[in-house]
């Protein structure tokens, strides 16, 4: 990141998109979602407004060329934002082994031992398993029923 160069303008002046570039996207939801995120970003980065609005002109129907341009813009914006935060020391970067990535517990099917290790790191106190909770509830219900029977015998 140290050798990266910020761009002077947020869009390439020699590239002009048209409604007919590329092939129409079968599922435009990714493009529309990206445009929404970029439009939101223009509140704090008005210098991006022109290029974002250029891309937004192709919401219906977006094509593969429009998606490629949007992804490039999205990556450039994200990259330069993160780079700026690192340079200003408002964001630190640390290496995390993929073995210790907590996000895996929410996104991947993990072998039981690895799942339990990650879960133990996320939770302060390990909760009982569902099976144990059910057993304790059944014991409590049996105990309550037994007490009711004993009370009936004493009062009866």
- The pLDDT tens digits of the residues spanning 35-90 come to 888 888 888 777 677 778 888 888 888 888 888 887 776 666 777 777 888 888 88
At 150, the pLDDT band (50, 70, 90 cuts) reads low
Is residue 125 in some structural domain?
A: no
Tracing tokens 């059944």 back to the chain, one arrives at: 138
pTM given for the model: 0.44
Is residue 14 in some structural domain?
A: yes
Query: Which tokens belong to 17?
Result: 């998109």
Among 47, 70, 93, which residue terminates a domain? 93
Mean pLDDT, the chain, rounded, equals: 75
Tracing tokens 């813009």 back to the chain, one arrives at: 73
Segments forming the whole domain that contains residue 144: 130-156
At 1, the pLDDT band (50, 70, 90 cuts) reads very low
The structural domain count of the chain equals: 2
């Amino acid at each position: 990141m140290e050798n990266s160069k910020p761009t002077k303008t947020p869009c390439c002046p020699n590239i002009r998109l048209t409604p007919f570039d590329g092939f129409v996207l079968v599922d435009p939801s990714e493009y529309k979602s990206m445009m929404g995120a970029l439009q939101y970003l223009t509140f704090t980065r008005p210098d991006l407004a022109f290029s974002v609005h250029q891309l937004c002109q192709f919401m219906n129907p977006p094509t593969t060329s429009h998606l490629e341009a949007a992804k490039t813009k999205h990556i450039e914006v994200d990259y330069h934002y993160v780079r700026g935060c690192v340079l200003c020391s408002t964001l630190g970067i640390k290496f995390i082994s993929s073995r210790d990535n907590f996000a895996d517990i929410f996104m991947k099917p993990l072998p039981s031992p690895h799942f339990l290790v990650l879960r133990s790191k996320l939770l302060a106190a390990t909760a009982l398993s569902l099976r144990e909770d059910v057993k304790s509830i059944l014991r409590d219900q049996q105990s309550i029923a037994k007490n009711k029977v004993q009370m009936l015998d004493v009062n009866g």
